[in-house]
Structure 1
Amino acid sequence: MTDRTAVAGGPADPSQPSASPVVRGLLLALGWLCVGLGALGAVLPVMPTTPFLLVAAWAFARSSRRLRAWLYGHPRFGAALRAWHEHGAIPRRGKVLSIVGMSLSFAWVLHRAEQPWLPVVVGLTLLCVAAFILTRPEPPPRSAAAATAAQPAE
């Protein structure tokens, strides 16, 4: 797939930020809410990170090019967003953490559920999500030139 990066480490996005101040404000609020939820997901094992950051990237793309570039260039979150946007890929570490988190969540539901149908519904849902995650490709390895450029000079 071709590299579509254009804006300070972020993918090219031809869409223009919203002209309406009300819509722009709502999108900015949604973007920041999702960044906050994504940051919580980075430290809480039962909460996802990347889906919230994908929504934040979408909202920022329509409200603030600067915030979108910041998010795609973020040292903690940017690489996963770029991998998804450019390749539809999920890093192996993300896959493992997702499956572990879903397994722990399912174990908790099994332990706490009072209705016998609840673990079945939750289990089938998590199984579908796990299948989707596991069938996504992994990001391509960084090229030697990119790896060399990313290392600090001595």
Structure 2
Amino acid sequence: MIRALLSFLGYVALALGGLGIFLPLLPTTPFLLLAAFCFLRGSPRMHAWLMSHRILGPYIRDFQAGRGIPLRSKCIALALMWPSLALSASIMPVPWARWFLLIPGIGVTIYLWRLPTRPGGAADRPDPPPDQISRE
């Protein structure tokens, strides 16, 4: 029963993380980390798939290992987030509420810049095979 619940939560977190790629105020990384955690205990097959995913896997593994994220990824995230927040503020019907969009914008900016910066991109180094990934 608990495995089924964790698998379900993993799928929900994965879906929210996927939506977060396209929606400016929905975070991607925390949901992907939650999905990895849930799948680790609920669905080993989905955990292996997520960790060996060509795009998402290296970022999750690097984040979990404390190696940080590439500077390029930080810059892209901020370059997409701030214009999205500005667009959201411009169409916000309540003028005084526009200022509240600064809270997540500043918070995410500080969070990203405090993360360790790993040189290069995820493709700059070979990834270990999925069966050799640490499951701590």
Q: Which residue of 2 aligns with 1:81?
A: 60
Q: Which residue of 1 aligns with 2:84?
A: 105
Residue 53, structure 1, aligned to residue 32, structure 2: yes
Residue 70, structure 1, aligned to residue 49, structure 2: yes
Q: Which residue of 2 aligns with 1:16?
A: none
CA-to-aligned-CA distance 1:29-87 (integer Å, 9 cap, x gap):
11112223333444x26354322211100111221233222211111110000110001
* 5+ residue gaps, structure 1: 1-20
Query: TM-score with structure 1 length normalisation?
Result: 0.67
- Between the aligned residues of both structures, percent identity stands at 32
Distance, in Å, in 1 between the alignment partners of 2:104 and 2:20 is 19
Q: How many residues align?
A: 124
**Post-superposition shift, 1:95?**
1.1
Structure 1 outlier segments of 4+, above 6 Å: none
Distance, in Å, in 2 between the alignment partners of 1:99 and 1:69 is 30
Distance, in Å, in 1 between the alignment partners of 2:69 and 2:23 is 17
More helix by share: 2
| 2:105 partner amino acid | L
Contact 2:70 / 2:120 at 8 angstroms: preserved in 1?
no
Structure showing greater Rg: 1
Distance, in Å, in 1 between the alignment partners of 2:98 and 2:62 is 33
CA RMSD of aligned residues (A): 2.6
Structure 1 residue aligned with 2:14, among 35, 40, 49? 35
